[in-house]
C-alpha cells in the first residue's frame, strides 16, 4: 500500500501538537488522561459522547448494571478516592457507575483536557515530524506525538442484518444507544431481539410494565441470579478495612478480582460435594458460577457437570415445559459465552404477558412496518428493542480510518483478525497504542484494573522515551505475530472457542473467527508486559521516525531505553 499520510489544512488544525492524544473518556481513557498529565505531558482527550463514562454513558437501558461487584469495579490507584466513594449496592446500576465516573472526572478536573461530542473519524501518521493527525466528525484536526485509543471493547453497536429493519413503523430502540430521556413502555407491545447480558437484564424490567412482551431468542444463554443487595451503612467500615488486601489479591489474580475457585479439585470429591459446591456458587450469585471449579473452562467433564446443574435450575423455575426447553442453553460450554447475571429473568417467562419465540425453531423472516414476521407468525409491536450486542474489541477501531506512515490501514491490517504486540501496539502504526482491546485480557478481566495496568505500563514507556529523546515507538512485526499466536494458543487450550461468542467475532456476520482477548490471565499478562519492559522493550522498535519496509522490522533501530524505576504502581 502506498497511500500517503494525510495532513490537515492549516485552517483546520484546532491547536498545536500535544504530547498525548487520548480517544475515549471511559475508565481507560480517563485514567490515561490523568496519568499523562501527572507525567508532565500535554494531553488532549477526544470523546464522541457529551460526557465521560464510556459504555456507562451509552448503555442506559432499564436494568443495566455491572456484573462485577461494585467494590472491585472501580479504580484502585488512589486510596483517598477509594475511601471517599461509597457504593450503595453489591452490583452497581448504570446510573451509579456513571455518577462514579463523573465524580472521578470532577475530582481530578479531567474535563478540562477533554473535548466532548468529537467522534474521531480518521488518524494519519506524518513521518516527517513524527506526529499523528487526528480528524473528528466535526471537521477538527489535532496533532499529537503519541496517540492512545481507549475506544472500548464493547462500544461499537452491532446492528443486526435483518431484512426490513428500517421499515419498522413503531419505536426502534437499541440497548447500547438508549435514549437519555425516559422511555415509557407502560401498556405497550414490546419486542426484544437478543438474549445476551443486555437483553437478560432488560427483559424482566420491560415485562413488569409492557402490555405484552415478545422475546426473540436465537441462542439461549446461561444466566445466574445476581442476588444484588443494598450495602448496610455499617458494612462500609469492614469493606474499607479489607480493601487493601482485597486489592492485593485482585492484582495478583487471573481476572482482576479477589475470587478463587472451590478449594478442592473436582476429581478429588464425590458427587454430593460437587453439587454442594455448585449450589454454593449459585447462591453466591453472579458470574462466578462459571468458575466454580479450577479447570471448569478447560475440562469438558467439569463443564458438563455445571451445565447439568444449570439445566436443573431452569426446569425448576420455568413452569411451561416447552418454554423451559427453549431456555436451555445448548451447543456451547458454560462460561464460553459471558454468563449473564439476572434479576428474575427465568421467572419472567412464567408471566402471562410474556412470550418466548425460539428463532431456531421459528426463524425470523423480516421486520415489517407492524412488527416482526417469523416463519410461523406475525408479531405486531409498538416498540422493538435491539439487544444485539457489539462489534466487539475491534469494531470501534476499524470504523476509524487509521493510516500508518507506509500507507498501512488498520482495518486492512486486521482484516483477518487483530494483530498486536501485547494488545498495546500494532506493527505499521508507530506511536499508536490501544487500551483494553484485542490481545489484552481486559475483555475477560475487571476492567478498571486492566486499564490501570496498561496505562501505567504505557506511561512508563512514554516517560522513558522523553527522557531518552526518542520520538517513535512501534510494535515489531515478529513480536506481534508471536503474541497473536500466543493469544490464539491460550484460547485453544480452553473450551471458549466452542461458542459462537463476541470474543470470537462470531456474532457479526463477515467478521473473521479469531479469539481476540488474551485468556491467559490478568497477572500473567501484567508479568509479560513487565518482562517486555525489563528486556529493554524487546518487542518494539524504539527509535526515530520509522521509514523502513517490512523486512526492516526485524531488529531494533536504536539502543532501547533503560526501564524507568519507581514509576506508577504495577500489578506486582
Please report, as ranges, the residues that interact with ligand N01 according to CB under 6 A. 66-67, 154, 160, 162, 193-199, 201, 218-219, 338, 341, 359, 364, 387-390, 502, 507
Across 154-222, the runs of DSSP E, i.e. the strands, are: 171-174, 189-193, 212-217
Question: 3-class DSSP state for residue 342?
Answer: strand
* Shortest Å distance, C-beta 504 to ligand N01: 11
Measured over the CA atoms of residue 139, residue 140, residue 141 and residue 145, the dihedral's sign is negative
Pairing of strands 378-380, 383-386: unpaired
Indicate the residue among 130 and 372 with the shorter CB distance to ligand N01.
Answer: 372
Cα–Cα dist 480/550, whole Å: 13
Indicate the residue among 443 and 560 with the shorter CB distance to ligand N01.
Answer: 443
* Shortest Å distance, C-beta 222 to ligand N01: 11
Which residue number has the CB closest to ligand N01? Answer: 196
Indicate the residue among 193 and 419 with the shorter CB distance to ligand N01.
Answer: 193
* Shortest Å distance, C-beta 219 to ligand N01: 3
- C-alpha torsion 290→388→362→509, nearest 10: -100
* Shortest Å distance, C-beta 96 to ligand N01: 13
Cα–Cα dist 326/158, whole Å: 24
Residue keyed to cell 517490512: 550
Cα–Cα dist 54/469, whole Å: 34
Cell numbers given for 161? 442484518
* Shortest Å distance, C-beta 328 to ligand N01: 14
Cα–Cα dist 43/16, whole Å: 11
Indicate the residue among 132 and 349 with the shorter CB distance to ligand N01.
Answer: 349
* Shortest Å distance, C-beta 341 to ligand N01: 5
Indicate the residue among 385 and 463 with the shorter CB distance to ligand N01.
Answer: 385
Length of the chain: 572
Indicate the residue among 505 and 539 with the shorter CB distance to ligand N01.
Answer: 505
* Shortest Å distance, C-beta 35 to ligand N01: 25
Indicate the residue among 8 and 364 with the shorter CB distance to ligand N01.
Answer: 364
Cα–Cα dist 390/308, whole Å: 29
Nearest to 44 by CA among 155, 102, 120, 97: 120
Cα–Cα dist 183/185, whole Å: 6
Amino acid at each position: 500500500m502506498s497511500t500517503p499520510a494525510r495532513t490537515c489544512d492549516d485552517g483546520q488544525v484546532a491547536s498545536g501538537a500535544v504530547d498525548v492524544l487520548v480517544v475515549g473518556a471511559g475508565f481507560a481513557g480517563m485514567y490515561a488522561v490523568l496519568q499523562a498529565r501527572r507525567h508532565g505531558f500535554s494531553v488532549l482527550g477526544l470523546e464522541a459522547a457529551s460526557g465521560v463514562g464510556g459504555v456507562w454513558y451509552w448503555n442506559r437501558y432499564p436494568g443495566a448494571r455491572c456484573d462485577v461487584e461494585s467494590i472491585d469495579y472501580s479504580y484502585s490507584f488512589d486510596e483517598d478516592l477509594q475511601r471517599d466513594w461509597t457504593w450503595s449496592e453489591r452490583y452497581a446500576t448504570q446510573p451509579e457507575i456513571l455518577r462514579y465516573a463523573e465524580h472521578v472526572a470532577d475530582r481530578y478536573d479531567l474535563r478540562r483536557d477533554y473535548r466532548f461530542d468529537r467522534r474521531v473519524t480518521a488518524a494519519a501518521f506524518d513521518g516527517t515530524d513524527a506526529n499523528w493527525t487526528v480528524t473528528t466528525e466535526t471537521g477538527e484536526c489535532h496533532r499529537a506525538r503519541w496517540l492512545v485509543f481507549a475506544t472500548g471493547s464493547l462500544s461499537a453497536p452491532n446492528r443486526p442484518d435483518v431484512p426490513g429493519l428500517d421499515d419498522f413503523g413503531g419505536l426502534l430502540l437499541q440497548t447500547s444507544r438508549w435514549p437519555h430521556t425516559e422511555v415509557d413502555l407502560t401498556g405497550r407491545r414490546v419486542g426484544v431481539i437478543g438474549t445476551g447480558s443486555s437483553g437478560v437484564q432488560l427483559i424482566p424490567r420491560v415485562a413488569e410494565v409492557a402490555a405484552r412482551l415478545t422475546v426473540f431468542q436465537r441462542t439461549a444463554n446461561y444466566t445466574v441470579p445476581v442476588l444484588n443487595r443494598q450495602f448496610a451503612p455499617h458494612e462500609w467500615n469492614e469493606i474499607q478495612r479489607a480493601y487493601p488486601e482485597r486489592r492485593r489479591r485482585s492484582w495478583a489474580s487471573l481476572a482482576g478480582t479477589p475470587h478463587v475457585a472451590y478449594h478442592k479439585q473436582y476429581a478429588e470429591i464425590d458427587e454430593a460435594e460437587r453439587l454442594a459446591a455448585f449450589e454454593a456458587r449459585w447462591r453466591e450469585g453472579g458470574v462466578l458460577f462459571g468458575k466454580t471449579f479450577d479447570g471448569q473452562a478447560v475440562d469438558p467433564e467439569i463443564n458438563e457437570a455445571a451445565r447439568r446443574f444449570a439445566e436443573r435450575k431452569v426446569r425448576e423455575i420455568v413452569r411451561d415445559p416447552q418454554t423451559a426447553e427453549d431456555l436451555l442453553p445448548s451447543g456451547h460450554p458454560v462460561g464460553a459465552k459471558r454468563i449473564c447475571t439476572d434479576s428474575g429473568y427465568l421467572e419472567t417467562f412464567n408471566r402471562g404477558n410474556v412470550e418466548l419465540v425460539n428463532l431456531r425453531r421459528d426463524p425470523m423472516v423480516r421486520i415489517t412496518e407492524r412488527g416482526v414476521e417469523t416463519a410461523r407468525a406475525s408479531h405486531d409491536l409498538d416498540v422493538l428493542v435491539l439487544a444485539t450486542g457489539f462489534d466487539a474489541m475491534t469494531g470501534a477501531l476499524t470504523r476509524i480510518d487509521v493510516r500508518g506512515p507506509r500507507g498501512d490501514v488498520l482495518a486492512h491490517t486486521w482484516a483477518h483478525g487483530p494483530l498486536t504486540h501485547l494488545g498495546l501496539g500494532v506493527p505499521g502504526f508507530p506511536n499508536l497504542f490501544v487500551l483494553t482491546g484485542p490481545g489484552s485480557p481486559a475483555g475477560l478481566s475487571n476492567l478498571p484494573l486492566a486499564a490501570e495496568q496498561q496505562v501505567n505500563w504505557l506511561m512508563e514507556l512514554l516517560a522513558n522515551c522523553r527522557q531518552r529523546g526518542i520520538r517513535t515507538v512501534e510494535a515489531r512485526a515478529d513480536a506481534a505475530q508471536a503474541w497473536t499466536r500466543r493469544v490464539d494458543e491460550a484460547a485453544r487450550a480452553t473450551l471458549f472457542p466452542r461458542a459462537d461468542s463476541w470474543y470470537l467475532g462470531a456474532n457479526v456476520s463477515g467478521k473473521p473467527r479469531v479469539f481476540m482477548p488474551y485468556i491467559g490471565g490478568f497477572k500473567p499478562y501484567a508479568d509479560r508486559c513487565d518482562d517486555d519492559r525489563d528486556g529493554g522493550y524487546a518487542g518494539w522498535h524504539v527509535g526515530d521516525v520509522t521509514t523502513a519496509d517490512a523486512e526492516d522490522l526485524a531488529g531494533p533501530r536504536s539502543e532501547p531505553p533503560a526501564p524507568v524505576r519507581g514509576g506508577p504502581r504495577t500489578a506486582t
